[in-house]
Structures are given as structure tokens and as C-alpha cells.
Amino acid sequence: MPSPPEARPRPPTREAPRGSSRLLLLICLLGLLLRLLGIDWGLPDPALHWSSYHPDEFQLVEPAFSISKGLDLNPHNFIYGNLLQNLDALLLKLASWAGLTPLPQGMGTLYLLPRLLTALFGTLSVALLYPLGRELGHPWIGLLAAALLAAAPGHVLHSSYATVDVPATFFALLCLLQALRALGPSMGTGLSGGTGHSDPPSSLRPALLGGLAAGLAASAKYPAGMVLLLLWLGLFLGKRPFRAYLFSGLAALLAFALTSPYVFLAWGEFWKAFQGVAANSRTGMVFLFAGMGDGWTYQALVSLPYILGIPTLLAAVLAFALAPRCFGKKALLLFAYLGIFFLYTGLSKNLFLRYALPLAPVLCLFAACLPRLAPRRPRIQVWLSLFLVLVELGLSLGVMGAKAGKDPRDQALAWLRAEVPAGTSMGVPDWPGPLEVPLALVNGGEGAREMILAEQKSGRARYPLVICADWDLDKLRRERPTYFVISEFSWRDVRRLRGETATLVFAKGQDKLREMVVDWTRRGNLFLDALEEDYRLVRRFDSFPPRWRSLFGWSFAPHDWLYPFPQVRVFKRR
């Protein structure tokens, strides 16, 4: 006699938990609010400094401004694909019609609107983790992963800059979602059961949508287009027909061509820029990253803790072995995604934290599996989940709260203007740029040196500058400026390499490069020693004190994490 319907085992489903939509909305709102904290940090100000304190934002904003004014539709900047430049240009055009971007008063708005767009992409990445969790058969894991990414301190921080990495990550995740759908339902039982959405084997929808997403990812940042390989793996494992591969590749090419058309229309410019980027990636910015080891070790042990926080990263690593049980064969695609992007981050000699950002969302999915280790103890699951989210939230509030406060460069500039009479000579380690105190209005950009010299000669400059570029100790001792102002960006790598140059390892054929680094380190340390001997430290300015950085493991923070938080020191001649 058959069992009554209520006694039969229920088939696994991907039904959303009750109230999940409202909870996801709250998570996304929290993520957006975190990303908006300090969104106006370091914006250009016509009265103080004309360049953003972020040294890379001009790569998007300047071409976008030119395009929005119809001056030239060719961005003439191919370090990245042109998707974000064109989207930013559309925003700036709309703002121009509304009268929000007249120069010079509106120069801050030129950067603020692209930053808001990045914050939107960061929040959409948070939202996308929920359908990814459902596709994996675990909606609750998707919700927890969304909460973890919403509060991931490094992802939050970089979601408030006008840069390409967070948008590229969103499109890569969108492609991952389609790869999972191409694979079809998970065959693993999982810890709570569940099968994902799947299209009929003959359907080309996952291939087309995934291809479009991969093309847009490449158009945001070229290496992100490697996610197309992940889509093809999903098509292969899902036994999709050959035409699915063809259509996905064509869709990717079409999306890239439509959003970065001048890659093809100005091929010579693009190819020259692309070769330059590739060469820079092979050699790296040696004065910043010499002696830091290989990229894979650095990104794993330094960047990822700053992005996710140590507890969430440990939870993700511990859950690696659990993933096949939790996600079935779909776990293979998650591991492949991590492998593709981890390979890319480690190959580059430039050890920027932002290169590891695409890893964060999938690591959050793995971390969200860990509470499932106690399937019969829901209270432990809840408390462990809350612990991971609250730790991340605390770290993010600390980071973004400090970013929303007064930048150390602004603190130093305000103190100098209040305490030091106009006309007092000021020594600086290099031409004033985005990473240093803006003692000149033109703190970066094309022609900055000529304009700084013109400002100094005209008598309009508040302080005469003694620019000791390239550690010019003779100039410091000859001109004897009354004050010397220096940010952490100038001294930290010189001091880091002190006593380490004998052990520096460079690739074969880079002997001259090694000699340059050794000589730069020697001269830099001689300069700093003389500075500390002839001058006394009168003020130190912080927003996120260096001792707090140990919360992320290594207190020597990644270079691009430090942008809002450099310590600034002001010395006075003895």
C-alpha cells in the first residue's frame, strides 16, 4: 500500500525561504550604505587640490569627461576596456544637462558620479550571491554569502572608488551564474538538498547570457574576460551542443565590441597600451613590490585577509573540503572560478589588493558553507553565521568610518595653514601628487610639473617648495627648508627594504633593475636618516592608526588599501 502523500519524502527544491526577499533587500541596503560612507573622500576641490587622492581614478574620469562633452569619442586610454569610461560618460552627460558639472566648481562631481556607479555594481554583486546560492541548491547559503560580501571590508572600500575591478567582478559573477545553469541540476545530495534551475539541454540561453556577461567583464577589465573559459567548462559538463560554444563566443565578442569599439577602430593605440600593460605586469612597479615574494603567496596571505577579514577567510578555507558535499558537481565550477582568477592575480608582479577582488564573492559562498557542518545544531549554525557577519561588519565600519573622517593629508594641510606663516619654505620628497599633501593646487595630471613651477614663480603659492625628487639629499642640505612634509607612501618601502637588498631576487636578465632598486633604497635611507637627524618631528596625522592594521594580519597594508589612510609626518628644522 503506498504511503500517504504527507509521509513521502519531499524532493529537493530550490524554493526560497520565507521572508528571504525582504532579508536580501535589507542586506543589500546595508551593503550600499557601507559603500556610501566617505564616498566624497579625496574629491578634487578647486580651492585645495585639482586631482583626486586616488591615483588611478583619472584613467576613467578624464576620458569619460571628454566623451561626455563630445570632444572625442575615442577615449585614447586603453589600459582597461572602455565599458566603464562610456558608462561614466553617460552619467556625466546627464549631470551636465542638469547643470551639476560646471568647471571648476563641479570638478568633484566628475569623480563622485562614477564612484556612485561603482557602489551600485558592488551592491549588485551582493544581490547576485543569492541567486547563485539558489542555483547551488542552498538559498540560505546564498543569503549568508550575500551578508558576508555586503560587509567584506576590502570589497566595501574598493566599491567606493571610480575604478574597474568591482564592476568587472559583477560581470564575472553573472557569467558564473550562467555557467552553473548550463551545467544543470546538481547531482550531489547536499546538506539540505536542493537542485538549481536548469534549462533544457538544447537551450542556448545560458550560453548567450553567459557570453554577453563575459564580454562585458572583458570590456571592464581585459583579464576578467577569462571567465568565458568557465562558461565553456559549464557547457562541457552540462553536455551542451557545440553550437552553444560558438554562440557564447560570438556573444562575448559582440558585447566587447559594442562597449569598447575603439579597441578595433583605434587598433594601433590599443595595441601599444596593451603591450605596455603586459610589460608592466611582467616587471611590476619594482620600488613598491620588490622583496615581497610571489603574487600567489602575497594575495593569499595579505590581500585576502584585508578584503574579507581573517575569520571569513579561514571559514572559506575550512569549507573547501565541504563544498563537494554541499554543492555536488557544481562545486567544480566554483573551484575553477577561483583557479582562473587566482592564477591571474599571482602571475602579475604588481601586488595590488584590487587584483584579488574577484575571488571575494565565491570565497564568501564557501565561508557560508561552514555553519552547515553542524546540521543538527541550528543554534550553533546561527551563532557562527552571526559571528562571521558581525566581525566583518565591525571591520567595515572601522575602515569606512575612518575613510569618512578627515583624510590625514587634509589634516596636515589644515594644520600648516593654521600654524605656519605663508612664505615659509616647505620641503617635499617629490613633486606634489595624489598620495602626498597637496601643497600645490595641481597635485597630479598631465603637465603638473610645469603648472607647479608656474605657480611657484608667480608668487601665488602659499609656501615656496623645495622639491627633493629622487632622494636629493644635497638639495635638502643646501636649501634647508624650514619644514619638511612627507606621507607614508614615500618612506614605507624605503624603510621596508632597509637591510634586505642583499637578499632581493630578480628574474634572469634584470640585473640593471636590481641595481636600480638597491641604489634607490640606499639613497632613500640616507635621506631619511639625515632628515630625522637635522629635523624634529612636530606633528603626525592618522585616520586609521597603523597599529589597527594588525586586525587584518599583516600590519604592512597593501598599497591600494592604504590610499585613504596614509600617515603624514611634518618635520621642522632643528
Rounded to an integer, what distance in angstroms lies between the CA atom of residue 263 and that of residue 185? 38
Residue entry with cell 600654524? 419
Rounded to an integer, what distance in angstroms lies between the CA atom of residue 347 and that of residue 280? 12
- pLDDT for 323 equals 87
Show Cβ contacts of residue 148 under 8 Å, excluding neighbours closer than 6 positions. Answer: 308, 312, 364, 367, 368, 388, 389, 392
86: its cell numbers: 562610456
Each residue of 329-357: b (16+ CB within 10 Å) or e? ebbbbbebbbebbbebbbebbbbbbbbbb
DSSP helix/strand/coil, 536: strand
| Cβ contact 129:20 at 8 Å | no
Q: What is the DSSP letter of 555?
A: S
Rounded to an integer, what distance in angstroms lies between the CA atom of residue 172 and that of residue 166? 10
| Cβ contact 353:300 at 8 Å | no
Q: What is the pLDDT of residues 343-353, one digit of tens each?
A: 988 888 899 99
- pLDDT for 507 equals 78
| Cβ contact 429:523 at 8 Å | no
Rounded to an integer, what distance in angstroms lies between the CA atom of residue 37 and that of residue 34? 5
Rounded to an integer, what distance in angstroms lies between the CA atom of residue 315 and that of residue 364? 9
Q: What is the DSSP letter of 446?
A: T
Nearest to 363 by CA among 566, 562, 53, 129: 129
Rounded to an integer, what distance in angstroms lies between the CA atom of residue 371 and that of residue 480? 62
- pLDDT for 200 equals 67
- pLDDT for 571 equals 98
Block means of pLDDT (10 residues each) for the chain, length 574 residues?
A: 41 60 95 96 93 95 92 90 95 89 84 97 98 92 96 97 98 97 63 51 86 98 96 94 94 97 95 91 86 92 97 95 87 96 90 96 95 73 91 97 96 96 95 94 88 88 94 96 97 93 81 90 96 97 93 94 97 96
- pLDDT for 201 equals 65
Nearest to 342 by CA among 197, 334, 292, 260: 334
- The pairing of strands 568-573 and 426-428 is unpaired
| Cβ contact 54:563 at 8 Å | yes
Sheet holding 568-573, edge to edge: 465-467, 426-428, 483-487, 568-573, 535-541
Residue entry with cell 603626525? 540
- pLDDT for 261 equals 96
- pLDDT for 153 equals 97
| Cβ contact 126:28 at 8 Å | yes
Global confidence as pTM = 0.92
Cα atoms found within 13 Å of the Cα of residue 398, Cβ hemisphere only: 18
Nearest to 231 by CA among 197, 180, 185, 196: 180
